[in-house]
Structures are given as C-alpha cells and as structure tokens.
Amino acid sequence: MHFVDTAFSFTSTDKIAVAVSGGGDSMALLHLYTRWSAQTGVPVIAATVNHGLRPEAADESAFVAAFCARHDIEHSILDWDGTQAAGNVQAAARNARYDLIAQWALLNGADGVVLGHTADDIAETFLMRLARKSGVDGLAAMPAYFKRNGIAFARPLWQQTRAELREYLRRHDVAWIEDPSNEDLSQTRPKARQILEALGPLGIDADGLKTTAAALSQAKGALQSHAAQEARRVVTFEAGDVIIPKRPRPPIHPETERRLHLAAVQYVNGADYPPREMAMIHLDVALIKQDHHTVAGCLISKTADGLRFARELNACEGAIDWGDRTDSVIWDGRWEVGQLPDCQAVGNLRVAALGDDLSQVPDWRDIGLPRSSLMASPAVFDGDTLISAPLAGLQNGFSARIVADFTSFLVSR
C-alpha cells in the first residue's frame, strides 16, 4: 500500500499523526503507519477523541491506548463533552474532532495528520448528498489532501474498501471495535450503508460510486479554476467588501456567478462552509424588491452595476483585549490590526467594530465608503474611548488590513 508513503508531498517528514477511533478503518491505518514508521524511522503519534456521546467511547479510547502502548506509539486521548453540543450534534462533533486533532498535532510537532476514510465512506457520502439533491460540489469525492486549522490532513485509504481493510487486519491479527452506532438505522450513514448493499444487484457498489465521485471531483476542480479566473477579471475589493458586477462584458456564466457569490459571502464572514443554497435563493428573490439583504452575517447591497458584499455589523466578532501590542491581532477572522512605529498610545486597549462611534470621526464621508461598511470595520478603543478607526480615516498610529485571500474561498476549505 504505497499510498501510506505518499500521503503527503513533503520532501522530508519529521513526524506523522494518526487519528484513531478504534474502528476497523482507523486501526488498519494505525497498523500500516506503525509498520511504515519501523521501515522509515519517522516517528508516528496517535490520538483518539473521546466525544462522550456514547457510553462506549471511553472504552474505545482505552482500547486504542493499549494497542499503542504495546507498539511503543505515543498516544493521547482528547476529551470533548459532546453532551453540551446544541443543534446538529454530528456536525458539532465533526468540527470538534478536527479542532482538537489539529491543535494536538501542531502542539506535538507533527507535519500532518492521516485519517482513515475509505472508498465506502465516499460512496455513502455520495448517496447521502444525492438525497439532499446536491450538485457537483456536494457529490464530488472528499479531497485526499487538504489543510484545516493550520495543518495538513490526508486520507491515504480513500481508494480501499472497508472489506479490504478488515481482511488486512485479520491477516495481521489486529483487533478492532465495531461502533454500535453503525447499525443504528435512525442515523443517516447506516441507512446509506444499507442502501448501498441493496444496490449491489444493479452493479452499483462502493468502488463504482467512488470512481464517479472522483470524476465529479475533477469536474469541480475545473469549475473552481474557471471561477478563480473570472474572479481575477471582474471582482473588485474595497475596504474588506467584495463588489461583483451584474453584467460584465463578456458575461459570466450563471454557475460561475453563483460560485463568486458564495465565495464573497465566505470571504466576508470567514466561515468554513458556504451558506445553504436556499439562503442564496432567498437573497436573489429579496433583492428583486429591496436594495439590501442579509445572509450568513453578510450585508449584500445593490450598487449601480452589481452587488456589494459587506460584513453585517451585528455579526461581527465582539471586542477583544489587546494588551501586548508587540504583535498584531486578528479580529473578526480576517482583519489584522497593528500598531505603527510612531504610535503614542499606552495602556490596555481593545479592538472591536467601529459601530455607532463612527459619528466621532468627522470626515468619514470623505473616505467614500458606505456607512454600514465602516461601522463593521475594526476600531481601537481605550475603554469606551475611540482611539483609532483606520478605514474611516482616523488612523492615529494604527493600521488594519485584510489577511483573507478571496480565491481561496473558491476552492474546498
């Protein structure tokens, strides 16, 4: 299985981290990397997230810990109280796993993290998204390599089936734990697994759906590349806002325009995922009758020749303390606020949205930016006293710049 050796494109690797749940897929991954480590001399570390959502979770973590102890693998258990999650618990658990694993991997000096997703996972996800009437992006295979939370992740087993990995474990006398939730048909993924088995007589299997999803991933990449080219041609930026013309020449294909709008929303709100399709449909309908509409923390306004995507004031990050100003600070996920060398300010300051304090900047109209955009821009305060509003023309020893890249929101994140 050469994919274990080629999961990352690093010229040199100092340490690889393995995310292990105790299930068959991740145990096969861990065993493969244990053998790889013995051959290459590159250390491997492992982590298990105990999400607390099932009573068996603690035992599964202990099972992985015992395996790692027998094979001299450094292992950590990362606890997360899933019982406190609100809304979509499965999505919250997934995000928590990525957050915890990324923080742990970075703290322990790993070059990347490997995950145990298989061809079956891709096929099941395809069916689940098909039920949600997903388009090309939704049906495309999950990426084999991606970056999240500051570290690289890879899925070396994406072309292997679950059955192949279990056969591998049997050959090497490696035990694993079957997650009882895999048989819970009240959950979506077990239902997809059952449906996939039923589709076998039609010749539809995990390998076939994986191949289809991979082909759609190629198509998705082509669409993203074209959208990025069009973005460089027609999209303009002003003080953190995105301006997309309505009728450029030559015209933009509707699918490309849709992608630009989604990217604009993500660029402004910094979210990991774009808004749902229905939210964007509501936006189009609302702007037929009115000049402004809000979507996912963004204020979208009609301009003379297009749409302006700006931050919604009420959705901005709250005030953050900025005591040590030897370093700049990131506010609202995309603004880097820094102190200039000639700054005379002293004491503990804070960074927050300018808001109604815009009225304290007498010449803000001369800047030529919309009032709503300036109100959602970063400002520096000493207590309740406004010190600086860089975008509104009150610099006073401070600077603010966008650190997000628009084209990065046109590709998978």
Task: Domain ranges for the chain, please list them.
Answer: 2-211, 236-314, 316-405
Note whether 128 and 83 are within 8 A (CB): no
Note whether 66 and 37 are within 8 A (CB): no
Q: Which one-letter amino acid corresponds to residue 344?
A: Q
Within 13 Å and on the Cβ side, how many CA atoms surround 303?
18
Q: Which one-letter amino acid corresponds to residue 193?
A: R
Phi, psi dihedral angles at 204 (to 5 degrees): -100, 110
Which pair of structure tokens corresponds to residue 285?
């309908």
Report the distance separating Cα 217 and Cα 185, nearest Å.
29
Report the distance separating Cα 18 and Cα 37, nearest Å.
12
Identify the pLDDT of residue 262.
Answer: 94
The CATH number of the domain covering residues in 2-211:
3.40.50.620
Q: Shortest CA distance to 307 belongs to which of 367, 270, 265, 368?
A: 265
Phi, psi dihedral angles at 291 (to 5 degrees): -95, -15
Report the distance separating Cα 397 and Cα 388, nearest Å.
8
Backbone CA torsion sign across 282, 283, 288, 293: positive
Residue 411 sits at the vertex; the CA angle it makes with 251 and 112, to the nearest 5 degrees, is 165
> Which residue shows structure tokens 């821009």?
377
Report the distance separating Cα 231 and Cα 312, nearest Å.
23
If residue 37 lies in a helix (H) or strand (E), which one and from where to where?
helix 24-40
Identify the pLDDT of residue 13.
Answer: 73
Note whether 275 and 282 are within 8 A (CB): no
Report the distance separating Cα 274 and Cα 262, nearest Å.
6
pLDDT in tens, the chain (413 residues): 557 777 776 656 789 999 999 999 999 999 999 999 999 999 999 999 987 767 777 888 899 999 999 999 999 999 887 666 555 667 777 888 999 999 999 999 999 999 999 999 999 999 999 998 888 999 999 999 998 888 999 999 999 999 999 999 999 999 999 877 667 677 788 899 899 999 989 999 999 999 999 999 999 999 999 999 999 999 999 999 999 998 899 999 999 999 999 999 999 998 878 888 889 999 999 999 999 999 999 999 999 889 999 999 999 999 999 988 888 999 999 999 999 988 877 778 999 999 999 999 999 999 999 999 999 999 999 999 999 999 999 999 999 999 988 988 887 54
Q: What length does the chain have?
A: 413
Note whether 26 and 65 are within 8 A (CB): no
Identify the pLDDT of residue 184.
Answer: 65
If residue 306 lies in a helix (H) or strand (E), which one and from where to where?
strand 306-311
**If you write DSSP's letter for every residue of 45-102 in order, what string do you get?**
EEEEEE-SSSTTHHHHHHHHHHHHHHTT-EEEEEE--GGG--S-HHHHHHHHHHHHHH
